[in-house]
Amino acid sequence: MASSSSELGFVFLLLFLSLLVASKPQQDSNFLFEGFNNSENHLNLEGATVVKPSGSLKLTNRSYNIVGHAFYYKPFQMLVNTTNTTKILKVSSFSTSFVFSIVPSSSGPEGFGLAFVIAPSTQFPWSSPGHLLGLVNSSNDGSPSNHLFVVEFDTVNGYRSQADSKGNHVGVNINGMNSTVNEPAAFFIEGTEAQKEEFSMEESDAVQAWIDYDGEKKIVNVTIAPISLPTKPSKPLISHPIDLHEVLKESMFVGFSASTGESKASSHYILGWSFSLNGPSAELNSSRLPEPPTKENDPSSTSFPWIKLAVAVLSALILLLIFSLCSLTLYRRYNNFENLEDWELDCPHRFRYRDLHVATKGFKESELIGIGGFGVVYKGVLASTGTEVAVKRIVRGSIQGMREFAAEIESLGRLRHKNLVNLQGWCKRKNDLLLVYDYISNGSLDSLLVNPSVVLSWDQRFNIIKGIANGLLYLHEEWEQVVIHRDIKTGNILIDEDLNARVGDFGLARLYDHGQVSHTTNVVGTIGYIAPELTRTGKASTSSDVYAYGVLLLEVVSERRPIDESGQFVLLDWVVENQSLGQIHDVVDPKLNLNYDEEEVELVLKLGLLCAQHRADLRPTMRQVIRYLNFDDPIPVTGAESSRMSSGFLEVVSASTISASYNLSSINSMSSRLVEAGRQPCTC
């Protein structure tokens, strides 16, 4: 009897667990949302919200110039290996179905629509609203580097034209907003050969869409119909051949994006959503979905003329009152009003100061994670998304605060590379100048090197060295302009959770066109990393970045500072001396306990001396540096004399400028415990 009870209990337990698993969204290859209550942990929302208690997902409201994103929180494997012996990748088939509702504005033109998106990231930091649907901007629209697959449900015509008009179409787009194929919103009536029934997506209470891609046949099918239609139409609205092999990456996110414009706005809702990889998506049960939002009646449609007149008079009085109040408010606050400057117009992703103040707990000292010559850095958590960010607060009273702020926005804001820090946006309010960028969990390379409880292995150090080189190569040669960083040092190299290097802090960066010469005339940087030619000409170049990189290489291997607190020890001299004595391995950090590759260590030390030569024309380019690090080319032999001349220069600079560096910014007096000796910014 006891055995029977035990077996019965085990059966009930299995049933309970199966029901529990079935009630949650599937995370491996499919999921199902019939309403979005309690789904926040499975969605990445930016500008979008879950409406309580209905459970509908609102992408945008009827405010102007806004964007809403909602993506499933985990990426899907969109490219798979077809065999176990080759690296040929095949595009996975996928299927999705969702129900959406568009509520146009009752007081003006509606727009701009929504889109189903497959993208490599859930972040679109420089995207624009309106016709671009919050996915791209005018400069990168259509770029193959976007890797976007988009099915748009557009309610405004006029993309790339002078005037807008009412739209009602479905389009399939690749990497931007130019549709490969589009059709007016319609569905095929059952029982007819080719009779197509058009309908308005805005006027319908809700619309169901089905998107199916066959990875074998390379065909995408798009079908839509009003939610009132009992079954899915048997014939798709769009059936188009398209090869996504060059569009999709191996790991991609799926979700939605919607936007409004400067004078057109609608609310965009998702009521239910299912998705499946390599199989049909689950059917949505309309009885379980949230009720579609109410469509508001247009007041201008009333049949009573006297009501129209009363509304018109009342509206005029209200407008007059609002105008008077605004005029009074502007008059009282005239002195505090800030006009946007020219450089601000090119940097559209502006955060609200209030959001950053809340994210950093009022810029509380406990959230302070770093300090430098032009400002302090706080850790923050954005309340809207829960995303961790780093907020750099620049001291406007510093010598070059405003100019460096603009430079960092212009340069870092448009740079994109895996070994650079990603700028998310900015904020300017009175005397507060703020940059918001990715929070890098492990902090700076400098903090890891001096931390006695952390020992980076040689493999980790060698990987970091290569990552910095790749980032500098991108800056010097691979971006649209040449970017001179001008402050390469371990304190400006951040290390992410995978121990990869990210070059950051572009406050001193300068840009110029390829084929031209830099025209910078002032000496900036950090003592110990400044190239000797800068004191003679004041002109920074890619070679001066290479010099600083060379010093950094010696520092990573030895875990010694370029110049000690007394100014008597110069790292470059020490390494040259050990090299001349045949004791080059004596400079290796003793904490490695001889656990390193001798050939790689010797290569890095020789490369550091090669990069830190006195003569700029003898230093390698970053492309040559990478070839040396990959053992593609033998490294040239360097003479000790040129390195000693460079070291002598460091002693002169140290004696003449280190005092000036302490006065560079009043920020140093705020928290002297965070400023380490030998790391002070220098400007002459």
Give 125's DSSP letter.
T
Known catalytic residues are: 487
CATH 3.30.200.20 in the chain: give the residue spans. 345-438
Model confidence over 582-625: pLDDT tens digits? 898 999 999 999 999 999 999 999 999 999 999 999 999 999 99
* CATH class name, domain 23-186+247-282: mainly beta
Domain 445-683: what homologous superfamily? Transferase(Phosphotransferase) domain 1 (1.10.510.10)
Going by pLDDT thresholds of 50, 70 and 90, the confidence category of residue 37 is: very high
Q: Which two tokens stand for residue 543?
A: 């070679």
- Which residues lie below 8 Å from residue 639, measured CB to CB, with a gap of 6+? none
pLDDT of 349 > 90? The answer is: no
Answer with the residue of higher pLDDT: 139 or 678. 139
Structural contact between residues 445 and 495, judged by C-beta atoms closer than 8 angstroms = yes
- The pTM of the whole model exceeds 0.85: no
Q: Which two tokens stand for residue 381?
A: 């958590």
Taking all residues of the chain, what is their mean pLDDT, rounded to a whole number? 82
C-alpha pair distances (Å), 586 with each of 484, 523, 575, 598: 33, 34, 9, 12
Model confidence over 629-646: pLDDT tens digits? 999 999 987 654 444 444
E strands of 61-144, at which residues? Answer: 67-72, 76-77, 79-81, 89-91, 94-104, 113-119
Mean pLDDT is highest, among 173-182, 415-424, 668-677, for 173-182
Block residue for tokens 């409201």: 61
Block residue for tokens 């994103």: 69
CATH 2.60.120.200 in the chain: give the residue spans. 23-186+247-282
Structural contact between residues 575 and 545, judged by C-beta atoms closer than 8 angstroms = no
Model confidence over 537-593: pLDDT tens digits? 888 899 999 999 999 999 999 999 999 887 789 999 999 999 999 898 999 999 999
- Which residues lie below 8 Å from residue 70, measured CB to CB, with a gap of 6+? 43, 44, 45, 46, 48, 57, 59, 255, 256, 270
Q: How many degrees, rounded to 5, is the angle at CA 127 between CA 440 and CA 142?
A: 115
Give 215's DSSP letter.
T
The whole-angstrom separation of Cα 410 and Cα 388 is 23
Model confidence over 154-206: pLDDT tens digits? 999 888 877 788 889 999 999 999 999 999 999 998 765 668 899 999 999 99
Q: What are phi and psi of 553, to 5 degrees?
A: -60, -45
Average pLDDT for 216-245: 95
Answer with the residue of higher pLDDT: 406 or 335. 406
Going by pLDDT thresholds of 50, 70 and 90, the confidence category of residue 676 is: very low
Distance spanning both ends of the chain, measured CA to CA: 91
- The answer to whether domain 345-438 has CATH 3.40.720.10 is no
Q: Check whether 166 is labelled as a binding-site residue.
A: no
CATH 1.10.510.10 in the chain: give the residue spans. 445-683
Block residue for tokens 């000797």: 532
Q: Given 3-state DSSP classes, what are the helix, strand and coil percentages for the chain, each rounded to the nearest 5?
A: 30, 25, 45
